[in-house]
Structure formats: structure tokens, C-alpha cells
Amino acid sequence: MGQGKKKRRCPALGREIASAECGASRNTQLACPAACPHNPFSPDNYVQALAIEDGLSPKVMRRMAAELGTAYPVPSGRKAEELDFFVRSVHARFFDRDVTGQTFAEQWQATGYAGLTNDERVLFAGQAQLRVVLLELHRVGAEQCEGPDLLDPAAAPLVVRDRSLAGLAMRFVALLTWAYPQPQYVRLHGMATVIPDCQGLVPEEVVRAVVRHLGGPVAMPALRLWLQTNFALMHRALLALEEGLRQRMFAQMAVSFHTAVYRLRTPAAELARRLAALPALVPEAVSPEERKEGYIQGWVWLDEKTDTPAELQPGTPTLGNVALGPEHLCLKGGMGQRFAQLRAAFERAFGSDVELAGERTDDVSRQLVQKQAPKFDAALVPPELLECAPQYKMNVSLVKLPEQGSKDPRELELQMTRTMVSTYADQAVPALDGRTPREAALDPRLRPKLVALMKRLVRHHDQTCRRLGVAVDINGLLRDLGLTELDFPPPPRAPAPDSGLDEAFEEAQEDFAPDWEDAVRSPAPPLPAAPLTDEDINARVEQALDALPDPIDMIDACDAASEGLIEYAEAFAERWHEQERQTLLMCIATVWFLFFPPAYYPPPLELDLLEEAVTKNLDRLHALADTTDSSVVTLLHCATQPAVFATVAGLLVGTDSNTKKLGLERQWARLEGLVFLRTLVDVLDSLAR
């Protein structure tokens, strides 16, 4: 408890205060600035906030179990890992109201968040303000993202502290997610759904179109309330929209692959000489598959009549490939019109030298749609949004290798990325009515389309750079087009390491002193030689209840004082009925404070030894279960502190006269609980002497 007497400079008060005063008052009675090194919710102390969050979660679950009857309000027929469970648990904590009109969070607030440390109160009070947001990311840092809530564009941008999000995010990604405020930033909670790209529509228009299709309101604030109630449905609808757009995109691409095989009438050597002399052909090694088919030489046939200037292409457009063997020649190419050009050009030059032996066409678009195409519920998708599927014109280009001659595909992709950035401003773009981005930037009618287009381009650019582990500046292109509203720094290439959580937890906890804890406590006195009597037990129970009247507070205090006993017991009773598991935790806390009253320091408990003893006695229980009932009774009632065991055994089993109606599984669980308590009594009795 020496930490409680330490002094530190408090910028909020302008003087020194004790660390315990700081821990009990920061961000509640004190307006702590972000720069204070002792503020666990400052951006620099983000890891401490994560540690506090980890400590808060089991306390919330335990209190929900005690007050609501279950910590996991799963809808009928649903599993805990499903999204419906998450949404239901959110509503159970923050939105559902009881007969008094209060939510679980409001009821806990009315008690002053009993059982929580000051920092946990700050955190949970923020979580009680949880709401659905449509977050568009603008700034992406190592641990922090920033962007507006598109459902409330007039509000200040949200500053989101979330290491996982920052490690994956790109600029201008739009997310439908849950967020809650903290003193210096916003935290996300649960699942986030990416809004699919719908050409010509901004993310908020996509969301409103889906909500309207599902029968919800599109005006605020009713829209946000509907999204909070129907978040799981909205998530499924957005995923269905994404898959529908993907399948429509492939269906519209009309990508096909064509092959034509010719028998040679002219010797292969003569044809090879004439093919090599054509300026439109560039030599290329045949593939392993072509070599197995007997082809030994290959060329790429360039498109000499392309409408797009070569300097604006990421490479030189091609019509297809030529492979030559001793007796056959093969033309291969995609996109039917280009292959038709290839075949016509080839037959003009070599028609009398070859004879068509066979041809084949593969509908690649159809194969892409049909190959493991996930099923989706089309009823969830507005038909008009499927018309916004992107339309791509596929071309194949011959890309010049970098100067160093590397054939690494990553190097080639990097080269194409740089070419795109340097040339894009002056390329005609169909989505801009055939105008160039530079022209569209000066046209008030086209500028909104250009902004949406460039957001999508920057997002894909960031994704490419992060995947390649490189930095290629695209902001110069944005500035060149005058799109200063999009000029945000690129995201980091690597996420921040998630380390130091254990140390942060200790630091976050060191200033917390529960209300019942006295800074000058002395070690717990040894037990008397004789076993505790009923009168002794009643007196000790009264002491414990005076200090810890709330059962949840008593369980949490036991877990903190024993450094993990409750956590171990929760794992032990993981499969129990919720009511009996909660009763067992209360019995354990009672046993603990009967041996070590709250006014004293307990000696350290070795959980490994306790677990070993529990396992040993459970094995004995299973061995005796097939013998006589008296053997089991002997095992349960030979505790070193009979009155203590009888007290907590009565709490666990209760006075229910219809025990046999519980079913064998619950009866056996109670029996195992009695073994656990008897073992705990013996271990604590030895520890307290």
C-alpha cells in the first residue's frame, strides 16, 4: 500500500496530490488534461486504457448475471458467437428497460457504479453512451484514426483510438459500427461493416437506400435508432449487397478466353523467321503448359491501333499470344473483340501457311460467377443498388521491366502503381462523362463525381501500398487536381506492436484503492486453535457485510484479494447453470472473508496447489460415486472447519426439497461444487494458520 502515499504533480489542480487521490478522482472530479502522464485515458497511455477495459468486462458480466439472471442473453436458437448475440448483449446492457423504465446501465449508475474502480466507472459511463455511427476514415495513424460520422456531418470528426482498426484501415473506408466516447477519444465496440462501393452514390446514400428497402426510416434521429435495433439485419444486408455487386460486376465484364489451333502448311522454321520479323510481335517464353503441348517458341502480339496513347497506359496493349511448335501454331487471347483482331491480322499475314484445326471459347465471366459463388439473400438488397455495380473494360498489356531487370510481380505492380499516379490526371475516365480528372476538377457539375472517384482510388491505392510494404505518394495528384479536402497523410505501412499490456494493467491498478481498503491494514491474524464456531462465523459474516454489502462487490473484492480465485472458479463452473454458478462464486467469497476479514491483508494464495487439491478430491468423488452414499458423505463432511463448510454448503444447496427434479446434470454439478468448497475450506484453513 506504499503506492497510496506517493505524491505526483496534478495539472488539473496545479499542486501535488497523493496517488490514491489521483486514482479516485481523475476524469470524474478532476478535469484531467490529455498531457497528464497519470491519465490512463490520454492517447499516450492507450495501453493502460486497454488494461482497464480487460478488467472491467468480467465485472460487467458478473453483475449482469446477478441482476438479470444471465450474463449472456442469447436470442432463441442463436449461438453466442453470432452477431445477433452481440447485438442482444449490447441491448441488455444499454437499451432494454425494465418495469421501472431503467436500463441495466442506469440502474448501476444509480448505485455509483458499485464495485468498480474510478477508472472503470469512467470507462463504463462512456460505454453507456454507445451508439451506431457511419464512420468515414480520413486520417489513419499507428494507433488512431479520425473521420466524420456521416450520419451527423455537422458534428466534429471522431478521433478513434483503436490499434486493430488502425492496423488494417485505409483512407476513405466507410464503416457502420458502434462507438462510445472516452475523455480524450472515441472507442469502437464490437463489429464493423464496410459499406460496399456503389458507383455514383456516397456511403450515407447507400445506407439509406438499404434501410428504406428494409422498411426503416431514413431521417435522423430515427435512422440511428433503427440501425441500433436492427444492426444484425443491416450487417447481413450489406454483405448481401457486396456479394450481389461482385456477381453483377463479373456478369457485366463479358470476359472470355479464346484459343485457335492451326496445322502448319509451311515449315516451322520458316514461319518462325517471318513471325520474328513482324514489328508487332515481341518474343516471350512459352509457359510450362505450352511446352508440354509441344510448343517451343512464343510471341506477344501488340495492339498497334489502340485509341489510347501508349504513354498513358501502364503498359503496351496486346491482342494476344502466339505459340509455335513443329507441326502446330496456337493463338490465345481474351476479350472477344481483341482476339478477333488478332485472328484477322494473323490470317491476313499467314492464312495460306496454316489450316484451322480447332478452336475453343471459355466464358471466364460466367465461370467466375459460378465458381463457388456464395449464396446471398437477394430480398435484402435494393435492386437499384445492383445497377451501381462497377463496369470494367479488361485489357492485357505488356509491361516493361524495371531498369534493374527484376521479374518480381511485386516490382511490376509497384511500377504500374507509380505510372498510374503520374498519369491519371490526364486520362479520360468514363465515370466522368469521358472527361479527364483535371477537366472534371474545374467543372462544378462533375467535381462531386470526381471527389467520390478519387476517394475510391485513394482507398485502393492505400491497400496496394500496405500490401506491398511501400510508400507511393498519391497526395501530389490530389493537390494537382485541387482536391485539398482529400489531402490527408497516408496510413503507416505497419501497425503498432500490441505489447506491454500486463505492465499497463499493473500501472492502471496501482492507484486504485477500493472503498473498503484501509491504507494501514495489518496482516490477517492466525486462526484460533479450535475450529470456528457458529458464533464466530456469524460475527465474521457481519464484518464482511458491513464492509462489502453488495454481493457483486464482495465477489470482485475476493478475486482481487486472492489474485484470481474467482476467475479460476468461473472456469471450474463454466458449464453450470448460471444461477448455480453465481451462487458458487458467492459461497467462495464468503469462505474467503470468513478466513481473511476485509480489514486485514491476506497471505498469498497458491492457486496451483488449490487446483491440484480440487482435482484430487474430484477424482475421489468419481471413484466413490459408484459405491455407497455414506462414502460420499464422509468425503464431503470431513472438512477441517466443519461449521464453515456447513454454512457455505447450505448456501450452495439451499433448502430446495425438490432437488431430484433438477436433473442428474445439475445435481452432479452441485455435488462437484460441494467438493470444491470443502477443498477450499481445507486449503484456506491451512493458509490462515
Q: Distance between CA 688 and CA 528 in Å, rounded?
A: 10
In 265-372, which ranges are E strands? 281-283, 297-302, 316-324, 328-334, 354-363
Tell me which residue of 226, 86, 242, 223 sits closest to 150, measured CA to CA.
223
In the prediction, which pLDDT does 80 show? 44
In the prediction, which pLDDT does 107 show? 92
Section 251-274 average pLDDT: 89
Q: Distance between CA 401 and CA 408 in Å, rounded?
A: 9
Q: Distance between CA 148 and CA 469 in Å, rounded?
A: 28
Q: Pick the range with the lowest mean pLDDT from 25-29, 299-303, 657-661.
A: 657-661
Q: Distance between CA 473 and CA 115 in Å, rounded?
A: 51
In the prediction, which pLDDT does 527 show? 86
Helix or strand or coil: residue 217?
Answer: coil
Burial-class residue 357 by CB neighbours within 10 Å (0-12, 13-18, 19+).
middle
pLDDT tens-digit map of 160-187: 998 888 888 899 999 999 999 999 999 9
pLDDT tens-digit map of 366-392: 766 666 566 778 899 999 998 887 766
Give Cβ neighbours of residue 387 (< 8 Å, ≥ 6 apart).
Answer: none
In the prediction, which pLDDT does 384 show? 94
Give Cβ neighbours of residue 358 (< 8 Å, ≥ 6 apart).
Answer: 260, 261
Section 523-528 average pLDDT: 81
Residues in the chain, how many? 689
Section 522-543 average pLDDT: 86
Q: Where is mean pLDDT largest: 421-425, 439-443, 593-597?
A: 439-443
Q: Distance between CA 248 and CA 390 in Å, rounded?
A: 8
Q: Distance between CA 259 and CA 676 in Å, rounded?
A: 75
In this predicted model, which residue has the larger pLDDT, 88 or 495?
88
Q: Give me the phi and psi of 147, to 5 degrees please.
A: 180, 165
Q: Where is mean pLDDT largest: 26-35, 328-337, 650-659, 668-677?
A: 26-35
Per-residue CA distances from 235 to 89, 177, 228, 249, 350 (Å): 16, 10, 11, 21, 58
Section 20-31 average pLDDT: 89
pLDDT at 588 over 60: yes
Q: Give me the phi and psi of 10, to 5 degrees please.
A: -105, 110
In the prediction, which pLDDT does 373 show? 60
Single-letter code of the amino acid located at 682: D
Q: Distance between CA 442 and CA 63 in Å, rounded?
A: 60
pLDDT at 521 over 90: no
H/E run at residue 324: strand 316-324
pLDDT at 159 over 90: yes
pLDDT tens-digit map of 646-687: 888 888 876 454 445 566 777 778 888 888 998 899 899 888
Domain edges within the chain: 522-687
Q: Pick the range with the lowest mean pLDDT from 364-368, 427-431, 473-477.
A: 364-368
Indicate the pLDDT class of residue 559, thresholds 50, 70 and 90.
confident
Percent of the chain with pLDDT over 70: 83
Q: Pick the range with the lowest mean pLDDT from 1-15, 120-134, 320-334.
A: 1-15
In the prediction, which pLDDT does 663 show? 67
Q: In the chain, count of helices (H) and strands (E)?
A: 27, 17
In the prediction, which pLDDT does 389 show? 79
Indicate the pLDDT class of residue 195, thresholds 50, 70 and 90.
very high
Note the pTM of the prediction, 2 decimals: 0.69
Tell me which residue of 557, 556, 558, 584 sits closest to 570, measured CA to CA.
584
In this predicted model, which residue has the larger pLDDT, 457 or 303?
457
Task: Please give the torsion angle defined by the CA atoms of residues 607, 611, 614 and 618, in that order, rounded to the nearest 10 degrees.
Answer: 170
pLDDT tens-digit map of 389-399: 776 665 666 65
Section 414-438 average pLDDT: 89
Q: How many CA atoms lie within 13 A of 256 on its CB side?
A: 13
Question: Cis peptide before 497, with omega less than 30 degrees from 0?
Answer: no
Q: Give me the phi and psi of 445, to 5 degrees please.
A: -75, -35
Tell me which residue of 184, 161, 187 sits closest to 33, measured CA to CA.
184
Number of CB atoms found within 10 A of residue 405's CB: 7
pLDDT at 340 over 80: yes
Find where cell 513443329 sits: 326
Q: Distance between CA 10 and CA 647 in Å, rounded?
A: 48
Section 350-365 average pLDDT: 88
In the prediction, which pLDDT does 368 show? 64
pLDDT at 189 over 50: yes
pLDDT at 64 over 50: yes
pLDDT at 42 over 50: yes
Q: Distance between CA 346 and CA 329 in Å, rounded?
A: 11
Per-residue CA distances from 579 to 63, 66, 653, 668, 686 (Å): 12, 8, 12, 15, 30
In the prediction, which pLDDT does 467 show? 84
Q: Pick the range with the lowest mean pLDDT from 31-35, 461-465, 576-580.
A: 576-580
In the prediction, which pLDDT does 405 show? 53
H/E run at residue 57: helix 46-68
DSSP for 649-667 reads HHHHHTT-TTGGGG-HHHH
Indicate the pLDDT class of residue 450, thresholds 50, 70 and 90.
very high
Number of CB atoms found within 10 A of residue 622's CB: 12
pLDDT tens-digit map of 226-245: 999 999 999 999 999 998 98
Q: Distance between CA 164 and CA 46 in Å, rounded?
A: 13
Q: Pick the range with the lowest mean pLDDT from 393-402, 475-484, 511-520, 653-662.
A: 511-520
DSSP state of 26: B
In the prediction, which pLDDT does 1 show? 34
In this predicted model, which residue has the larger pLDDT, 632 or 328?
328
pLDDT at 58 over 60: yes
In the prediction, which pLDDT does 560 show? 83
Q: 676 near 591, Cβ under 8 Å?
A: no
Q: Distance between CA 419 and CA 413 in Å, rounded?
A: 10
pLDDT tens-digit map of 110-149: 988 888 889 999 999 999 999 999 999 999 998 899 999 9
CA 298 to chain centre: 48
| Mean pLDDT score of the chain | 83
Percent of the chain with pLDDT over 90: 42
Per-residue CA distances from 60 to 120, 127, 575 (Å): 10, 11, 19
